[in-house]
A = this chain, B = another copy of it.
């Protein structure tokens, strides 16, 4: 298979209600676009959610790491390319490159996905699915020069924020929407932060689902200057997800 067919490229524009007060695209919206691109790419190649659901399987996002030199500004066009870097028995690595208005690479992202059986919620063997057809799309030649998702460990014992999961937080599966976690985590930081700094790296590790009415508590460590690790726990102490946010003074 040609290398070109292994990579999907999708065009976007930074819409006015998708940018923050600095005029830059929000991390939540970028995350949404990345996940959509993953879906488009998989669907076009026959291993998208719709096809999988017929066979009673679905993709589950485990990790996401985004590294950026800059965010698209309001009304700017940008594109996202995505490809599969590795397929293991239980996980697959999908990478992304984000290209800004002048055809300049402005960022990269890495993601890790598992596939589960919708009835048993148990992980599926990716190498066995459709005769291992997904491995035909492995693309080793495309660079993704950013670090893999790291291990996040939060030691804070007092939450810095609490929310209750509401209607707008819940997705079609009845789970707390993966993108809304990103927004709620970034809302832990005051506006003044975003005036002086920009996010140079953002990581999410999705651990467990949360549901409507759950009380989510946000615990946060500052592990180094401008480096924050956040853990979200539901209804007491069960970990739902973890995040790492690296702020850069170089705005």
Residues of A within 8 A of B (CB): 15-23, 26, 28, 32, 35-36, 39, 49-50, 74-75, 166-168, 170-174, 177-179, 183-184, 186-187, 189-191, 194, 212-213
Contact = CB atoms under 8 A, between A and B. Distances in A.
Contacts of A191: 167, 170, 212-213
B186 A21 contact: no
A172 B16 contact: yes
Number of copies: 2
11 contacts: A16-B35, A16-B39, A17-B32, A17-B171, A17-B178, A17-B179, A20-B168, A21-B212, A166-B187, A168-B187, A191-B213
A11 B85 CA distance: 32
A1 B24 CA distance: 37
Given A16-B39, A191-B212, A212-B191, A170 B21 contact: yes
Contacts of A17: 32, 35-36, 171, 177-179
Nearest to A161: B166
A239 B50 CA distance: 45
